[in-house]
Amino acid sequence: MQNFLRLFVALAIVTLGFSHTARAADGDTAYVVAYFETAFADKDKVRALARKLSEAVAREDGNLRFEVLQRVGQPDQFAILEAWKDKAALTAHAEAASTREFREKLGAMLRSPELADCMQKVGQYVRFKCGLDKRINRLAGMLATRHWSNQYEWNGHVPYALKAGMEQSLIDAIGEGRRPPAMRDDEAAVYDFVTELYANKGVSDATYVRALEQFGEAGVVDLIGVVGYYATNAMLMNVARTAVPGNDTLPLLPLPLQLQREA
């Protein structure tokens, strides 16, 4: 996700009055939620920069939605919600002169601009370039998200997991903190690898060999990278207390409560 210190779309943010939307043509829509926090003294400058970017985006091919939000009560916190026709349109936007200008001018105002830049690049690799099957990629991310019990991230994972071919029963089991009763061989290899990694701070030779046979050396490294990326996002959003959009019921129960209910 582009330009973020902490991903954050709270209930108490309002539109600034410059946004536009269009209807998606197919199922390849690419979404971006970018959150950034500036020095309080720079909030008006950021608002002006965002308005200028919004005007430029309105002229770009493939944009379906671009909405800038500012948090009520904390006007130094901003969010940008974007939807693009496909990944090619999103990539073209990222490379556009107006986007580069926005990032360059905004960079000095971010609390941690270098971290934001690095994480954005990792996110691009994990979501668009990683060699793992999308179902496996998403499973690894969901296991990390469940470990950190991040409601916002889980809420975003589920529809993409289903689209990638993951069974609802597997999603439900992970969400409830229990081992899924039926998994494909590659899913079981990921589940055991990630849960063992979190439990033991490493994996056994047997678990490593199973993952190696399924995904190869590069795939195992990518698997760890996916877990690390979503874990970092989850930690940032947990600290920021990022809310689930709208008034949706929280999708994850706290694990101790879930275990108590099953007892």
Q: What was the pLDDT predicted at 249? A: 66
Angle at 32 between CA 243 and CA 52, to 5 degrees: 105
Domain 13-111, classified CATH 3.30.70.100, yes or no? yes
* Structure-model confidence comparison of residues 62 and 116, the more confident one: 62
Sign of the four-CA dihedral 77, 116, 174, 257: negative
Query: Confidence band (pLDDT; 50, 70, 90) for 42?
Result: confident
Q: What was the pLDDT predicted at 79? A: 84
Q: What was the pLDDT predicted at 41? A: 67
Query: Confidence band (pLDDT; 50, 70, 90) for 156?
Result: confident
Q: Report which secondary-structure segment, H or E, holds 147.
A: helix 134-148
pLDDT (mean) for 31-37: 78
Give the right CATH number for 134-262 from 3.90.105.10, 2.60.40.60, 3.40.50.720, 1.20.1290.10: 1.20.1290.10
Greatest mean pLDDT among 12-21, 133-142, 254-263 lies in 133-142
d(CA 223, CA 104): 32
- Give the residue extent of every domain in the chain: 13-111, 134-262
d(CA 183, CA 169): 10
Query: Confidence band (pLDDT; 50, 70, 90) for 214?
Result: very high
